[in-house]
Structure 1
Amino acid sequence: MKFMLKNHFNSNQWRIFTALILTGLLSVASSLTLVKDATGASVNLSLERSNEVLKDNVKTNRLPRPVVNAVLRDLASRQGIFSSQLQIIDYNQQTWRNGCLELPQPDEICTQALVPGWRIVVSNGKQNWIYHTNNNGRSLRLASANTPSENLPGKLPTSVKNSVLRAASRRLQKPISQLTIIQAQQQTWRDSCLELANADEFCTQALVQGWRVIVDAVDQTLVYHTNQTGSALRLNQNANQNTLAPVKIPVSELPPPLDRDIVFRQISSGGITGRTYETVLLKDGLLIRVRIGDANDSERSVRRVSVQQVQQFVRSLERSQFSKFQNLSYPAPSGSADYITYTLTSQQGTVQYNDISQNNLPKNLQTAVKAWNQIVASAK
């Protein structure tokens, strides 16, 4: 073909012919680019719709899974730890007053538009971090870092603290000495009923500055809404009626029992990566973590806690009555995706839950989970 072209075309004709060929190639490349862009747009649209479907499947005021993933990934990256060592201990919906989620950087210009989103408190058992996010977690900012857990209620006025503790004491029929305020967060309520109106109750539509306070009573928590001084307060019944109904784990799905030298074991599986990890705590304080299916054992880590910490952990399991949850599973809500399932095994039995429903577990089980997370976080 090349020989024939040289004999039948002069140089000018050859240039014209070459130009036509190049034009055709560019046209084809352009078409491919358009197809690629269209495909990318289709994928992005599918992801967005997937997130929307996920949110629709979640109960009102339940933290969407994409937001959970975004926050835990960001903090794990900042701290250089595994996201499994973190847990969300509190969250609530917010409407931020600007595009910076009310956390502008120096000299940053923020769009003055209302942004629906979330305020989230993350803990590793020793410290807490507060995040502001938008509705889907694509925009997030760290509000405060390395905040000691015990200092979270530090700014709570004494009058509010006393009022809430007295109310909780009366409701639970427990002395105030057995109650602890574990979270205190400033709020602006949208009506005089502190957004907790009773049926047929008339509420003045006026902004009320106040607090959202969580009281821990070992076996349960109470959430209160108050005004600035505590002279007006209401119990958030919905926040206190969110425990899950467990199902029995089939015997065929139970993991093998522990060797006598092992105190506790956690198996985590699922999530975005779909990987499975096993972490075991030995009586001598060794904490060993491996990835199941890792042929080269490249992700093995061996750390240690003191024997005293192991003994304290065992006592925590006993106080929380961990054995009463033997062979029970607390499943994820229907339609949930990309969640991590945790299977915890002691010498007394096994319990299973997932990171989506963690905040809705029975209080005693949450206490046991918290004690385990503290052990993992403290290992060196």
Structure 2
Amino acid sequence: MKIGVYSYFIKNQARIFTALVLTGILSVSSGLTLIKDARAASANLSLETSSDVSKDNTKSNRLPRPVANAVLQDLASREGISTRELKITNYNQQTWSNGCLELPQPDEACTEALVSGWRVVVSNGRENWIYHTDSNGRSLRLASANTPSNQLPTSIKNAVLQAASKRLQQPISQLTIVESQQQTWRNGCLELANPDEFCTQALVPGWRVVVSGRQQTLVYHTNQTGSVVRLNQKPNQSTLTPVTIPVSELPPPLDRDVVFRQISSGGFAGTTYETVLLRNGQLIRVRIGDANDSERSVRRVSVQQVRQFLRSLERYKFTQFRNLSYPAPGGAADYITYTLTSQKNTVQYNDISQNNLPSNLQVVVKAWNQITASAQ
């Protein structure tokens, strides 16, 4: 009997021990499973959160549609092409340092205020254009149309105007800077040595500035800062000195569909012709005063030629000659005066002085002559 009880007790202990071992194994396994599930859940949560943040950042840095539309429409209008031919290839948010979006025009006063906006790059596959805009596209400027390196520094402008005002005995308000060009003078006298003056033989970076008054135009040479200003009393006759066209003598602005106009007048016959280039490639020439319109001619160039010509106006900075006239030499007669007008400005010159025009203006004149010569 004792042996039976003892045997039962031993067997029962073994069963209990086995049960405890199995329970422990199951507990450990469950714990590991819970830990694994918890880690997986944590990883999934982390990935989802990261993805949401990335999406939010992408959305906040996306170029607003009004800005994109404004840039594309402005460039399409400038180039005379469809917006479908243009593509925005890059953009980033900017904070411009002034109200001119850091692209001031000559003599423009800019509000000193920070402006949030965008820098946008547009391409047609061959050329790129860079725009500065405000945050909503209501204000935008084409960077490639602006030439910061050629903008006359304020210190030089002030120094030249003060010198001209003193010499002409006219208030600065009645003087106008009609031309300014960067130069590298060959000596310390800015190539304007006085008699018996010794000049240092060193290259001096500076500016050539033309100032127009009521009855006279002056040409000044300066150094890079405006601390040295010299009057060129015998300006090179091979370089024409322009004068500002009075507002009352400016021709009427162009119609919307006209991109360029030439008015030629004078010569032996004294006749006046008007030639206009339309955006669609039509080239129309009429004689002013022809009551029967008998000399009207209508020819055509390709739209691609029109676009190339408009790009030439931008590339060679036609706007820098805004409302300037390059007059004929004194005593000249029977010459033809040409008045060229774009959507932005007017320039006047004559046939006998054409070869002495500024190089950029000569290129524009040549491009226009090619348009008129190739029309059919």
TM band (smaller chain): 0.3 to 0.5
TM-score by length of 1: 0.37
**Max radius of gyration: which structure?**
2
TM-score by length of 2: 0.37
